[in-house]
């Protein structure tokens, strides 16, 4: 699979993608902990970060999920947050399977 075409990854950043994915893996672990603690503030901050960095690497869906996480946290909607965290994990795994 041509990852660059599939995800529109800038060729200049191809070398740093594995590191980026690794950090998103850590984000999944953090998000699950925050959700277990119903720590909406931390989830929102992480969502803000994901919204900012996803598109820069060609992962528009990650940016979108980050924005949705922020909105769900504003509403204190734990069910929506859990669902979005699962979506985020699925997205990271599909990128990982394409990269690694």
Q: Can residue 29 be called a binding residue for another protein (CB under 8 A)? A: no
Helix 78-99 crosses helix 40-53 at what angle (to 10 degrees)?
Answer: 40
Q: Can residue 41 be called a binding residue for another protein (CB under 8 A)? A: no
Helix/strand/coil for 93: helix
Based on CB atoms, which residue is closest to another protein, 52 or 90?
A: 52
> Is the separation of the CB atoms in 98 and 58 below 8 Å?
no
> Is the separation of the CB atoms in 44 and 56 below 8 Å?
no
Q: Which of 31, 43, 44, 63 binds another protein (CB under 8 A)?
A: 63
Q: Can residue 52 be called a binding residue for another protein (CB under 8 A)? A: yes
Q: Can residue 55 be called a binding residue for another protein (CB under 8 A)? A: yes
């Amino acid at each position: 699979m041509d990852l660059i075409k599939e995800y529109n990854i800038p060729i200049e950043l191809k070398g740093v993608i594995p590191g980026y994915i690794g950090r998103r893996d850590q984000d999944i672990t953090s998000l699950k902990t925050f959700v277990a603690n119903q720590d909406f503030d931390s989830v929102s901050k992480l969502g803000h970060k994901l919204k900012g960095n996803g598109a820069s690497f060609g992962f528009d869906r990650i940016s979108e999920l980050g924005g949705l996480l922020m909105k769900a946290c504003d509403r204190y909607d734990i069910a929506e947050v859990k669902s979005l965290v699962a979506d985020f994990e699925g997205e990271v795994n599909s990128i990982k399977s394409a990269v690694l």
